[in-house]
Amino acid sequence: MAIVPTPPPIAARSAGEEAAHNGAARAEPVAPPADTMSGWGNSAPLALLAFGVPTFMLSMVNANAISKGVEPVVFGVALMCGGITALIAGIIQLRTGKTFTGVLFCGFGAFWLSLFAIAQWFLKSVPPTQVGHALGLFLYAFGIFLAVMFAASFRTNVVVVVTLALIGIAVFLLGAGNYGAHVTLVHWGGYLGLAASACIFYLALAELCEISYQRPVLPLGSLAH
């Protein structure tokens, strides 16, 4: 029968060594959360609301639920709320080490700033027969950005994935509708935009409730493993 050798006994520490060891263990600091260390709060709810408000407004116009004549107000909100505010909130996300949301929110901010600049300054230089093509090209390009973010979102939660899918499909429908002057596609893009804005507001509410109550309140369906 094989005999498992008994390991040699561990040498006992002296009283002084034991006291020094325990003192070092007690003195070792516990690292606070990353956001606390950086001094920055969670800017995700701000970015979500800043993106959701102009998305809802423009989607109401695209869905033909409200007159197209209100677009100047929509673009004003897009500049200050969807553009500048979302961009700042995205930079804060990057500052606190949240790369995915930082890229997402900065991209949304850049989208609204670009849309404002195109509508206010640059579109008038495009030949009238090419305006739809110009807007379609812009929307297709941003749709590619959304496709990239959608592919990277499967470690977040179900609501984020569904929201990006809705926004992506809506943007491609709007791109096709503007490029080919298909009013029905623009309307469907507006309907999906309204559904996406509802998801965005839900995400913002879930984030704010979790921050306020220090626990998850609204289900999001986490996909992280």
pLDDT at 225: 65
Measured from the Cβ of residue 151, the count of other Cβ atoms closer than 10 Å reads: 9
pLDDT at 17: 53
Q: Is the pLDDT of residue 24 over 50?
A: no
Long-range contacts of 25-30 (CB under 8 A, 24+ apart): none
Q: pLDDT class for 2, splitting at 50, 70, 90?
A: very low
Token pair listed for 122: 């640059």
Q: Which amino acid is at 26?
A: R
| The residue to which tokens 């970015």 are assigned | 47
Q: Which amino acid is at 77?
A: V
Q: Which whole number is the average pLDDT over 177-199? A: 96
Token pair listed for 1: 């029968």
Which DSSP string do the residues of 133-170 spell out, in sequence order?
Answer: HHHHHHHHHHHHHHHHHHHT-TTSBHHHHHHHHHHHHH
Q: pLDDT class for 29, splitting at 50, 70, 90?
A: very low
Point out the least confidently predicted range of 28-37, 61-70, 156-165, 213-222.
28-37
Q: Which whole number is the average pLDDT over 9-22? A: 50
Q: Which amino acid is at 15?
A: A
- Cα 17 to Cα 12: distance, rounded to the nearest angstrom: 9
The answer to whether 216 touches 210, Cβ cutoff 8 Å, is yes
Is pTM, for the whole model, over 0.85? no
Q: Which whole number is the average pLDDT over 117-127? A: 92
The answer to whether 11 touches 42, Cβ cutoff 8 Å, is no
Helix (H, G, I), strand (E, B) or coil at 36: helix
